Amino acid sequence: MTRFVLSMLAPLAVLFSLYLGGTAQAANPDACNLLRDPATRAQLSGSFERKLMIQCGEISLEEIERARSAPAPSGQLKPSVEPGTAGVPPEVQKKSLGEGPGADVRINNPAGDVNPHTTQSETTVAINGATVCAGYNDSGAFAATGNFTGFSFSTNGGTTWTDGGPLPTGTGSDNNFGDPSIVFSVKEGAFYFAALSDLGLSLWRSTSCSSWTYVGPIHVGSGDDKELMAVDNNPASPEFGRLYVAWTDFNLGGDRERVTFSNNGVAWSVPVTLAGSGPNAQGAWPAVAPNGDLYVAFEDRCFTVGCSRNLRIYRSTDGGATFAARTNIGTGLLRPERVASTNTCSRQALNGNIRNLSSPQIAIHLDGSAPAGYVISAVYPYDSDGAGADNSNVFYKRSTDGAATWSAEKKLNDDATTTDQWVPAVGVNATGKVVSSWYDRRLDPANNLSFDRFAVVSNDGGLTFGANTRISDVSSGVPTLIPNFDTFINSCYHGDYDQIATDASNAYLVWSDDSRLEGTRPDPDVYFDSISLVTVPPPTSQTGTCTLLTQVSFATGETLGQATASTSFVNIPDMTVPFTMGGSVNHCVKVEFSAFTFAPLGELLMVRALLDGVTAGSPSEVQFSGNDDEDADGRWARSHAFNFEFKNMSPGPHTITIQFRSFFGGSVFVHRRSVFVHHR
């Protein structure tokens, strides 16, 4: 096969496609050969296979032109399926009052769909303040414009959304074909959007997510598949602002996972191939550690019914220049599948003929107590009961030493059924609140067919998880996928991944939902919901009234110190409060601390309390925004009140210590006011 190397000096007019009526037609025979070989075709992602089907004529120009000339859909749109339709049992339709985080919000506008091209799926999401930016595969957009990658945006934290249509065609008629991936660059103050394109992989940029500008190709190659992007957003990192893209290159006969990087989105490095990744690799997922280390996880797949595969991970400590394999996330894991569906789809699939890429996702957060200085969280699905009736569950592992070792796995779905859970996503915020979500069939145990979106949260960096929460308001049936009711979509396709974005307060979730019908026609959409990550301290088991035990007061405006970026709480001098607990029984102690702080816009101040050297729960955090008051030096001021509680304390002398640190490396000045220690 021909191997193409991108040169940024090459004219963009050098394309690997010829165009007719605005639709790409492949000129490279090697690309079409990927479709003709059944074994290779089974390895392609849904978006890449569809791109080749269009370029190689399996989806005809006549069909595309008919779709473009079809009238816009008419008639009233139903907000959700009615009980008993689309194969969804009535008893699993609606979410109970108070059951989930909030009402789901559809983020795409079905008015842009062209019958039967109504599919939006396979989602990506990023945030900047109140702006939530999402992307997805969009067959309706392709029918209208020849571009398959849609986007939507919200400027109020996800309360309302605008469908922005498809990404624009790039220079030289570079159309886009899905596999969406969005990141927000703190350094650039801009969103970046990567997608499959006629050239191979291409990039778009926006400061608002309301409109996008074509930047150019990331990599030119006819075998490029399933690119995912990450960005280094830590100002203290040596590679601050660097963009990374990982993908699978089917033009390579051996090792197929590749990585490239850019400091500006325009000039990209010569790709590095992950040595030893092998010819069966797919689903590369990049993530950046707080110190700038780059990790790429992927699935080393197998292709026979009942086979086992490995989940692998590589690390770069030099900004993506070189990589080394680390310890597998999982080894010898039975691939999740329903045998009859796999045989029908000629590839790994679950009930309802849903093709299933079971690759891992990873996310990384700072943790000064970890040997590496950070924790890697990984989620993945597999068939954990072997010959049993349960075909797929979702699991979690964490590593504190840079993927040298991994914790024992935790099963995330807490149902007692033998139904499917698949396509898990993971996100984590700066203080270690880990969130995972996935598709889940527990509410249809009789049929194992209709599905919902479920999620779970860990407040302690993945050490423990709470109860599962139903996110979707309405259960989805499964439309006809073989042949697909949407003739621009591959058979058995339902999207290969979804993503989660987080900030200090919330997790932002997007997913594909099939619950809505247009008349009797399926109309898959993308929905949004959020989960609060604000930790509410549990009530104490003691009774009685807190009485003042010790009060330590300081002069208002006294400067305690200045924080800078670090992996530990050592930048501002500790506040230490000694006291003695009287009596002969255990007590509850509550610490109330108030402070006045100054910090740069966007800085994150983290505060924690320790009792005799032991931390009280998760650190509190404060994000400085434009809603605060700005001082003459351009810093943002805010007054804070922090509360920490310790339970079951023994009598005798104790010391409470309050510690601080800056997360992003800006100067944070803390003026302490007072500390109150109460007990009961």
Consecutive H or E run containing 50: helix 46-55
Q: pLDDT confidence of 624, banded at 50, 70, 90?
A: very low
Alpha-carbon separation of residue 602 from 154, 496, 559 (angstroms)? 20, 33, 21
End-to-end CA distance of the chain: 75
pLDDT of residue 434: 98
* Fold (CATH) for 17-75+120-526: Neuraminidase (2.120.10)
What percent of the chain clears pLDDT 90, i.e. is strictly above it? 59
Q: Is the pLDDT of residue 622 over 70?
A: no
At 69, give phi and psi (nearest 5°). Answer: -95, 0
Integer Rg of the chain from CA: 26
Q: Using CA atoms, how far apart are residues 484 and 7, in angstroms rounded to an integer?
A: 39
pLDDT of residue 319: 98
Q: Using CA atoms, how far apart are residues 491 and 476, in angstroms rounded to an integer?
A: 19
Using CB atoms within 10 Å of the CB of residue 181, give its burial: 0 to 12 exposed, 13 to 18 middle, 19+ buried: buried
pLDDT of residue 558: 42
- Structure pTM? 0.77
Lowest mean pLDDT among 2-11, 227-236, 648-657: 2-11
Taking only the tens place, the pLDDT of each residue in 333-376 is 999 999 999 999 999 999 999 999 999 999 999 999 999 999 99
Using CB atoms within 10 Å of the CB of residue 279, give its burial: 0 to 12 exposed, 13 to 18 middle, 19+ buried: middle
pLDDT of residue 50: 86
pLDDT of residue 445: 96
Task: Give the contacts of 9 (CB within 8 A, at least 6 positions apart).
Answer: none
Question: What is the average per-residue pLDDT within 503-514?
Answer: 95
The CATH superfamily of 547-679 is: Galactose-binding domain-like (2.60.120.260)
Residue scoring higher pLDDT (345 or 545): 345
Taking only the tens place, the pLDDT of each residue in 241-278 is 999 999 999 999 899 999 999 999 999 999 999 999 99
Alpha-carbon separation of residue 518 from 34, 149, 453, 479, 588 (angstroms)? 35, 22, 22, 13, 58
The amino acid occupying position 448 is N
Q: pLDDT confidence of 33, banded at 50, 70, 90?
A: confident
DSSP 473-510: SB-B----BTTBSSTTS-TT---S---EEE-SSEEEEE
Residue scoring higher pLDDT (539 or 379): 379
Question: What is the average per-residue pLDDT within 403-408?
Answer: 98
Q: Give the 3-state secondary structure of residue 34.
A: helix
Task: Give the contacts of 69 (CB within 8 A, at least 6 positions apart).
Answer: none
pLDDT of residue 12: 30
pLDDT of residue 42: 87
Name beta bridge partners: 128: 131
Q: pLDDT confidence of 543, banded at 50, 70, 90?
A: very low
Taking only the tens place, the pLDDT of each residue in 279-324 is 999 999 999 999 999 999 999 999 999 999 999 999 999 999 999 9
Q: Is the pLDDT of residue 92 over 50?
A: no
Q: Give the 3-state secondary structure of residue 110.
A: helix
The pair of three-digit structure tokens given for residue 347, joined into one six-digit string: 């590839």
Consecutive H or E run containing 532: strand 525-532
Burial 87-112 (b: 16+ CB within 10 A, else e): bbbeebbebeeeebbeebbbbbbbeb
Number of H helices, E strands in the chain: 6, 46
The amino acid occupying position 490 is N
Question: What is the average per-residue pLDDT within 470-483?
Answer: 94
Helix 46-55 vs helix 29-36: crossing angle, to nearest 10: 120
Taking only the tens place, the pLDDT of each residue in 584-593 is 555 666 666 5
Q: Using CA atoms, how far apart are residues 219 and 467, in angstroms rounded to an integer?
A: 43
396 in Cβ contact with 288 (< 8 Å):
no
Q: Is the pLDDT of residue 71 over 70?
A: no
pLDDT of residue 520: 82
Question: What is the average per-residue pLDDT within 531-551?
Answer: 57
The amino acid occupying position 305 is V
Name beta bridge partners: 596: 639, 671
At 33, give phi and psi (nearest 5°). Answer: -65, -25
The pair of three-digit structure tokens given for residue 210, joined into one six-digit string: 């309301």
Q: Is the pLDDT of residue 214 over 80?
A: yes
H-state helical runs in 84-242: 139-145
Q: pLDDT confidence of 75, banded at 50, 70, 90?
A: very low
Spans of all domains in the chain: 17-75+120-526, 547-679
Q: Using CA atoms, how far apart are residues 432 and 421, in angstroms rounded to an integer?
A: 24
Q: Is the pLDDT of residue 162 over 60?
A: yes
pLDDT of residue 152: 98
pLDDT of residue 521: 84
- What is the length of the chain? 680
Q: Using CA atoms, how far apart are residues 420 and 518, in angstroms rounded to an integer?
A: 27
In Å, the largest CA–CA distance within the chain is 87
Alpha-carbon separation of residue 587 from 583, 590, 679 (angstroms)? 9, 10, 7
Lowest mean pLDDT among 161-165, 233-237, 540-544: 540-544
Consecutive H or E run containing 294: strand 294-300
Q: pLDDT confidence of 519, banded at 50, 70, 90?
A: confident
The amino acid occupying position 637 is A
Please tell me which of 56-70, 526-540, 639-653 the model is most confident about, judged by mean pLDDT. Answer: 526-540
How many CB atoms neighbour CB 550 within 10 A?
16
Q: Using CA atoms, how far apart are residues 546 and 553, in angstroms rounded to an integer?
A: 19
pLDDT averaged over the chain? 81
Q: pLDDT confidence of 84, banded at 50, 70, 90?
A: very low
Alpha-carbon separation of residue 442 from 4, 416, 422, 563 (angstroms)? 46, 8, 12, 47
Q: Using CA atoms, how far apart are residues 495 and 656, in angstroms rounded to an integer?
A: 51
Residue scoring higher pLDDT (295 or 642): 295
Lowest mean pLDDT among 192-201, 269-278, 543-552, 579-588: 543-552
The alpha carbon of residue 129 and the mean position of all alpha carbons in its chain are separated, in whole angstroms, by 17
The pair of three-digit structure tokens given for residue 622, joined into one six-digit string: 């404060």
Q: Is the pLDDT of residue 7 over 50?
A: no
Q: Give the 3-state secondary structure of residue 345.
A: helix
